[in-house]
Amino acid sequence: MKHPYLTDDHEIFRKSLRKFLEKEAYPFYEKWEEERMIPRSFWTKMGEQGYLCPDIDEQYGGSEVDWGFAVVINEELERVGSGLVGVGLHNDIVVPYITAYGTDEQKKRWLPKCTTGEMITAIAMTEPGTGSDLANIQTNAILDGDHYILNGQKTFITNGIQSDLIVVACKTDPKANPKHKGVSLLVVERDTPGFSRGRKLNKVGLHCQDTAELIFEDCRVPKENLLGEEGKGFLYLMEKLQQERLLVAIAAQTASEVMLKQTIEYVKSREAFGKPVSKFQNTQFKIVEMATEIEMGRAFLDQLIAEHIEGKDIVTKVSMAKWKLTDSARKIAAECMQLHGGYGYMEEYEIARRFRDIPVASIYAGTNEIMKTIIAKNLGL
């Protein structure tokens, strides 16, 4: 089915991106998983082809295209594997903070390199002691002359090891009441004194995705690296979370579609008791149930993408899509693995990797429980 917000231009773009990924990503993905890292050369190749931040202004290196192109990029990356999530995070989560709240000087300094892949970005909100309760972060930045002195620790940071530019959520006013009014966003550059990286974290899935701890010890961040205004960081984060959660929903939906397609192919080719497994009624009912769930998910998601592109505030509906589609994907991964029998548990079948990768989508970008608290509040409960 053709997505209603996509034109022929998007489909031409999709074809060339898929061709690019067939050459530059699919054949290496398993190796990247073993090495627990995507090489920087993949980023720069993406940049050369215009696949990094294509929506930003031409003067900063972008192509000023609509967000439908971002949807195509994220879907095609997810089709390769969920471990490429860091590219989407760079394009559509971190860089948008700079384009929305950065000064012209900051944009000129950073954005062109973000489009070429010379600069990989990350966003650091979560700390060892707090994730969901963002207003309670302890990392603080105190102004001292022309610098902020940043102290604290972050964890679970996507692109943590490779990042050159990190948007760090911190307290510039640790005593602010209410707490969230003390939160600001500081941009920390790779070689800033006092900044170091901790462990590269060993995860259940997303093996090629780099996830790490970041440490700031009397880290001297130039005053001009403040993003937007002091004390408005929490507000900025809330404003951008709609897009972040929509991206997670897009990835989950794409993963479900991929898993179903692979499973249909498998059950048609595998025989038991003298006939294809696809001919058992249980298999058919499971497949039908998943196909129905996926079809409904796609219809809802497409509507939300179209509304997001129109600039509508759809926080409640995006929170619904985020929890529901990631929850569905997790259940679909388990059903698809079951229908593969023993082979589903073997690494040579992609369903095994998908099964490991998908549960995190219910956890990051705000847990599914937090999505439900947002929806409940917005329903007036």
Binding site for ligand FAD (CB under 6 A): 122-126, 130-132, 156-158, 203, 206, 211, 360, 363-364, 366-367, 369-370, 373
For the bound state, the minimum distance from the C-beta of residue 292 to ligand FAD, rounded and expressed in Å, comes to 28
Give the span between the Cα atoms of 35 and 272, in whole angstroms. 37
Q: In one letter, which amino acid is 176?
A: A
Q: Which is nearer to ligand FAD, 151 or 373 (CB)?
A: 373
Q: Which is nearer to ligand FAD, 50 or 131 (CB)?
A: 131
User: What are the Cα distances from residue 145, in Å, to 168, 221, 260, 309?
Assistant: 20, 11, 58, 42
For the bound state, the minimum distance from the C-beta of residue 201 to ligand FAD, rounded and expressed in Å, comes to 8
For the bound state, the minimum distance from the C-beta of residue 204 to ligand FAD, rounded and expressed in Å, comes to 9
For the bound state, the minimum distance from the C-beta of residue 80 to ligand FAD, rounded and expressed in Å, comes to 17
**Residue nearest ligand FAD by beta-carbon distance:** 131
Closest C-alpha among 246, 249, 260 to residue 289: 260
Q: Which is nearer to ligand FAD, 124 or 337 (CB)?
A: 124
Write down the H helix ranges in the chain: 8-24, 29-35, 40-48, 68-80, 85-89, 95-101, 104-116, 233-269, 281-309, 315-339, 350-357, 368-378
For the bound state, the minimum distance from the C-beta of residue 166 to ligand FAD, rounded and expressed in Å, comes to 9
Residue 25, helix vs strand vs coil: coil
Catalytic residue among 213, 244, 257, 293: 244
Do residues 234 and 211 lie in contact, with contact meaning Cβ atoms separated by under 8 Å? Answer: no
Q: What is the CA radius of gyration of the chain?
A: 21
Do residues 322 and 245 lie in contact, with contact meaning Cβ atoms separated by under 8 Å? Answer: yes
DSSP state of 90: I
Spatial CB neighbours of 343, under 8 Å, sequence gap ≥ 6: 266, 270, 349
Give the span between the Cα atoms of 298 and 284, in whole angstroms. 21
For the bound state, the minimum distance from the C-beta of residue 291 to ligand FAD, rounded and expressed in Å, comes to 29
Give the span between the Cα atoms of 74 and 243, in whole angstroms. 12
User: What are the Cα distances from residue 245, in Å, to 121, 180, 291?
Assistant: 18, 20, 23
Q: Which is nearer to ligand FAD, 202 or 281 (CB)?
A: 202
For the bound state, the minimum distance from the C-beta of residue 342 to ligand FAD, rounded and expressed in Å, comes to 28
Peptide bond into 54 cis (omega under 30): no
Give the span between the Cα atoms of 203 and 207, in whole angstroms. 7
Give the span between the Cα atoms of 319 and 299, in whole angstroms. 16
| Torsion sign over Cα 162, 330, 250, 242 | negative
Helices 233-269 and 281-309 sit at what angle, rounded to 10 degrees? 150
Q: Which is nearer to ligand FAD, 130 or 303 (CB)?
A: 130
Judge residue 24's burial from the number of C-beta atoms within 10 Å of its C-beta, 0-12 exposed, 13-18 middle, 19 or more buried: middle
For the bound state, the minimum distance from the C-beta of residue 153 to ligand FAD, rounded and expressed in Å, comes to 12
Q: Which is nearer to ligand FAD, 90 or 147 (CB)?
A: 90
Closest C-alpha among 178, 132, 185 to residue 156: 132
244 is catalytic: yes
Q: What residues act catalytically?
A: 244
